[in-house]
Chains A and B, each alone.
Chain A
Amino acid sequence: MSIFDYFKRKPTKATAAIAKERLHIVMAHEHRVANGPDYLPALKRELMEVIAKYVHIQRKDIKVNLERHGDCEILELNIALPEDDEKTATAN
């Protein structure tokens, strides 16, 4: 470091606290996902089977998500049904 740098030197920002806060949040989220109930894949598979009786859907069309808000857990199901003309399902 030269004498010029010394006088140029800007105060550094204390950003570590921000990093720590962000890590707290993201790691807590990742722990919840990792420790989530293991029935979700099976639930998804069985839902697939039931829905497939009526409409053609693919695995990627079903989204199953479990979220925790406080002590309350919300199971969110999102099923994208195909366009009308594709609904040539087995149920006719």
Chain B
Amino acid sequence: MSRVIVVTSGKGGVGKTTTSASFAAGLANRGHRTVVIDFDIGLRNLDLLMGCERRVVYDFVNVINEEATLKQALIRDKNDNNLHILPASQTRDKDAFTEEKVGNVINELRDSFDYIVCDSPAGIEKGALMALFYADEALIVTNPEISSVRDSDRILGMLSAKSQRAIEGEEPIKEHLVVTRYSPARAETGEMLSLDDIQELLGIDLVGVIPESKAVLQASNSGVPVIRDEQSKSGQAYQDMVSRFLGEDIPMRFLDAEKKGFLKRIFGA
């Protein structure tokens, strides 16, 4: 049985696309047939983070409008045969989306993939609602910051009211918390909400903590999901997240502030 996972947050710019790219690449790397769909119609970005922007010929809206087949639109990752990308369109044709048409595409994808990862746009409007409608599970991407936590809470409300599972009264969507751009030093000094605070406020299980790291920007500059940067903390943290998602019980890492020595503090890291 394939699973549909929406990566969502309400708030913009918190790391949904970064997380979608690494999560999908991680699942594929462990042998699962995975497709990642960019639902951000009009603002295509996933292709850049996956390094396939020059291979986009057809997009999601072309498939919805039956101007192209899924097979024509899917882009296979150049490093991993298990990984495919369905890019968003660059036109603002949001009205192309209807529950029925999106459902048809998802159903067709279910035949050939184990995991269908939906990278949601920001907001709580149609695009975000379409991305979450068919979800079986959700990654709630949250930054340790007041408005991000509130918006995550709003999105949790949407999942339990507006999704197909909610409407049909089926078993609820399984929700997982992903805290990104976490800065242990700043949480330690009480400057930033801590992990415990966020978990207590949102009340869902934590599946990963991704530290704030320069490696993320470098990875997106090069068009390689950061999970493939095995040296970086954020890459390793995404690996751990995928393991936990797949049921492994491993401790959280990178939660403690680096102890900087006196000299290091003076002369910089």
- Chain A: residues with CB nearer than 8 A to chain B? 1-3, 6, 12-17, 19-20, 22-24, 26-27, 30-31, 34
A51 and B193 CA atoms in complex are apart in Å by 50
A82 and B265 CA atoms in complex are apart in Å by 68
Partner of B266, one of A6, A13, A26, A34: A6
By Cβ-Cβ distance, the 3 closest A-B pairs, closest first, are A14-B190, A19-B146, A1-B268
Task: List the B side residues contacting A23 at CB < 8 Å.
Answer: 146, 149-150, 201
Q: Is the CB of A12 within 8 A of B266?
A: no
Task: List the A side residues contacting B192 at CB < 8 Å.
Answer: 16
- Chain B: residues with CB nearer than 8 A to chain A? 146, 149-150, 153-154, 157, 161, 186-187, 189-194, 197, 201, 265-268
Q: Name the CB-closest residue of A to B260.
A: A1
Partner of B197, one of A3, A12, A16, A31: A16
Known: A15-B191, A17-B190; 9 extra A-B contacts, CB below 8 A, are A1-B266, A2-B268, A16-B197, A20-B201, A22-B146, A23-B146, A24-B201, A30-B150, A30-B153
Overall SS of chain B's interface: helix
A6 and B268 CA atoms in complex are apart in Å by 10
Given A23-B150, A30-B154, A34-B161, also A16-B190 (CB < 8 A): yes
Task: List the A side residues contacting B161 at CB < 8 Å.
Answer: 34
With most chain A CB atoms within 10 A of its CB, the pick from B146, B150, B154, B201 is B146
Task: List the A side residues contacting B154 at CB < 8 Å.
Answer: 30
Task: List the B side residues contacting A27 at CB < 8 Å.
Answer: 150, 153, 201
Q: Name the CB-closest residue of A to B190.
A: A14
A14 and B188 CA atoms in complex are apart in Å by 9
Q: Is the CB of A1 within 8 A of B193?
A: no
Nearest-neighbour CB distance to chain B for A65, whole angstroms, equals 20
Task: List the B side residues contacting A19 at CB < 8 Å.
Answer: 146, 193, 197
Given A26-B150, A30-B154, also A16-B193 (CB < 8 A): yes
A19 and B190 CA atoms in complex are apart in Å by 10
Q: Is the CB of B157 within 8 A of A34?
A: yes
Q: Is the CB of A13 within 8 A of B191?
A: yes
Task: List the A side residues contacting B150 at CB < 8 Å.
Answer: 23, 26-27, 30
Task: List the B side residues contacting A1 at CB < 8 Å.
Answer: 265-266, 268
Nearest-neighbour CB distance to chain A for B184, whole angstroms, equals 13
A15 and B189 CA atoms in complex are apart in Å by 9
Task: List the B side residues contacting A26 at CB < 8 Å.
Answer: 150
Q: Name the CB-closest residue of B to A6.
A: B266
A27 and B187 CA atoms in complex are apart in Å by 21
Task: List the B side residues contacting A31 at CB < 8 Å.
Answer: 157
Q: Name the CB-closest residue of B to A14.
A: B190
A3 and B150 CA atoms in complex are apart in Å by 39
Q: Name the CB-closest residue of B to A33.
A: B157
Q: Name the CB-closest residue of B to A19.
A: B146
Task: List the B side residues contacting A3 at CB < 8 Å.
Answer: 266-267
A2 and B161 CA atoms in complex are apart in Å by 52
Task: List the A side residues contacting B187 at CB < 8 Å.
Answer: 16
Q: Name the CB-closest residue of A to B189.
A: A12
Q: Is the CB of A14 within 8 A of B191?
A: yes
Q: List 15 A-B contacts (CB under 8 A).
A: A1-B268, A6-B266, A14-B189, A14-B191, A16-B192, A17-B190, A19-B146, A20-B197, A20-B201, A22-B146, A23-B146, A23-B150, A27-B153, A30-B157, A34-B161
